[in-house]
Structure formats: C-alpha cells, structure tokens
Structure 1
C-alpha cells in the first residue's frame, strides 16, 4: 500500500516538474496554474525545512556545549 502512495507522489512531482518546464516555454493556461502550484508547494516545503532546522539549532544551544 505504501508503495502505491509513494508511486502516486512521485507521479505528481514528475508531472509538476514537467508543467513547470512546459509553462516556461509558453504552455497552456492549465499548465501555468499547475506550475505555479508546484513552485508554491516547493517554497512551502523549503520554508518548513528551514523552520525545522532553526528549531533544532535552538534546542541544541541550551545543553551547555
């Protein structure tokens, strides 16, 4: 079951990346919408990763090392 979920996620990521390239080359409107959603999701993931790392850095500062 988890393999199917991961394959579905991989298909969504690959499709999103393809839409980003296609939209950059002047693709149809729906491809530009999917590309914008893909880029927005990437920015959210990047921001959450930065926040997670900041939280880990703060927790390690208080241990006296």
Structure 2
C-alpha cells in the first residue's frame, strides 16, 4: 500500500512540475503531460462534487 501511495505521489508531483514547466515554455511533451494532469484534476473535482464534498456538512448522517 505504501508503494502504491508513493507512486501516486510521484505522479502528482511530476504532473504539477510539468504544468509549471509548460507555462514557462518547456518542451512540447510537457504541454501534453500538463493537459493530462489538468484533465485528471477536473475529473477528481467533478467526482468530489458528485459525492457532495463531505466538508463542513454533517458527514451524510440523516
């Protein structure tokens, strides 16, 4: 489990670095990785909204 979480962390950090690098005029492959990273972030945000967020609420207890 630690290996999986470490791998996910490395991918997230790499994706964020590519987003910054592409904004600074990096090579073309950084734009592709940055686009994928931003798309994945949009999917995660959309999934979080569908779940109701869970923040500041009553935790779903009714």
In terms of Rg, which structure is larger? 1
Q: Which sections of structure 1, spanning at least 5 residues, go unmatched? A: 55-59
Gaps of 5+ in 2: 54-59
Deviations 1:16-65 (A, max 9, x none): 000000000011110000000000000000011001107xxxxx6xx6xx
Give the 4+ runs in structure 1 shifted more than 6 A.
none
More helix by share: 1
TM-score by length of 2: 0.83
Residue 50 (structure 2) aligns with: 51
What is aligned with 1:20?
A: 19
TM-score by length of 1: 0.79
Aligned length: 55
